[in-house]
Amino acid sequence: MVGENENEIISGQNKAVTLASTTRVSDLASMLGVDPVELIKQLMRLGHMITLNDPLEYEIASKICTAYGIDVTSVSDQQSIDSGESSSTKGDLDLSQGAVERPPVVTVLGHVDHGKTTLLDSIRNTKKVDGEAGGITQHIGAYQVEYQDKSITFIDTPGHEAFTEMRARGAQLTDIAILVVAADDGLMPQTLEAISHIKAAGTPLIVAINKIDIPTADSDKVKRQLSENELLVEDWGGDVISVNISALKSEGIDDLLENILLVAEINELKTNPELSGTGVVIEAKVDKAMGNIVSVIVQSGFLRVSDYIESKNSKGKIRALLDENGKRVGKAGISMPVEILGLDNLPQPGDLIEVKPDSKNHKKKSSINSNVNTQSGITSTQAGNLLLQKNREDLVFLNLIIKTDVIGTIEAITKSVTAFDSESAKVNIVHAAVGTISPSDVSLALTTESVICGFNATTEAAARTLAKTSDVEIKNYNVIYNFLEFVEERLGKSKKAEFVDVIEGQAKVQEVFNVSKGRTVAGFVVTDGVISRGADIHVIRNNEEIFVGPISSLKHYKDDVKQVRAGTEGGMVVEGFSEIEQGDVLESHKLVEAQS
Give the residue extent of every domain in the chain. 1-85, 100-271, 278-362, 373-490, 499-593
Tell me how far the alpha carbon of residue 309 is from its chain's centroid.
22
The Cα–Cα gap between 102 and 108 comes to: 19
* pTM metric for this prediction: 0.55
Angle among Cα 362, 368, 373 to the nearest 5 degrees reads 100
Query: What is the CATH architecture of 278-362?
Result: Beta Barrel (2.40)
* Helix (H) and strand (E) counts in the chain: 14, 33
The Cα–Cα gap between 480 and 455 comes to: 8
Phi-psi region of 369 (alpha: psi -120 to 50; beta: other; left: phi over 0): beta
The Cα–Cα gap between 3 and 365 comes to: 33
Determine the 3-state secondary structure of 489 from DSSP: helix
The Cα–Cα gap between 392 and 355 comes to: 47
Specify the fold of 1-85: Arc Repressor Mutant, subunit A (1.10.10)
Note the pLDDT of residue 594. Answer: 61
* CA atoms in the 13 A half-sphere facing the CB of 71: 6
Report the chain (596 residues): mean pLDDT per 10 consecutive residues: 42 63 76 80 74 73 83 59 38 52 89 84 65 54 86 75 52 82 89 79 89 92 92 91 93 94 90 84 80 88 92 89 87 91 86 78 42 37 46 68 84 78 78 85 84 89 88 87 84 58 91 79 93 89 88 85 90 88 92 63
Note the pLDDT of residue 167. Answer: 52
Specify the fold of 100-271: Rossmann fold (3.40.50)
pLDDT in tens, 379-414: 344 444 444 444 455 567 788 999 988 877 887 787
Q: What percent of the chain has pLDDT over 70?
A: 77
* Rg of the Cα atoms in the chain: 25
Note the pLDDT of residue 140. Answer: 54
CB 314, CB 356: distance < 8 Å: no
Count of CB atoms situated within 10 Å of the CB of 488: 16
CATH superfamily of 373-490: Translation initiation factor IF- 2, domain 3 (3.40.50.10050)
What's at 318, amino acid-wise?
A: I
Note the pLDDT of residue 61. Answer: 84
The Cα–Cα gap between 206 and 189 comes to: 19
| Of residues 45, 174, 191, the one with CA closest to residue 115 | 191
DSSP string covering 167-230, please? HHHHHHH-SEEEEEEETTT-S-HHHHHHHHHHHHHT--EEEEEE-TTSTT--HHHHHHHHHHTT
| Same topology between domain 1-85 and domain 499-593 | no
- The CATH number for 499-593, chosen from 2.60.15.10, 2.40.30.10, 3.40.1280.10, 2.30.40.10, is 2.40.30.10
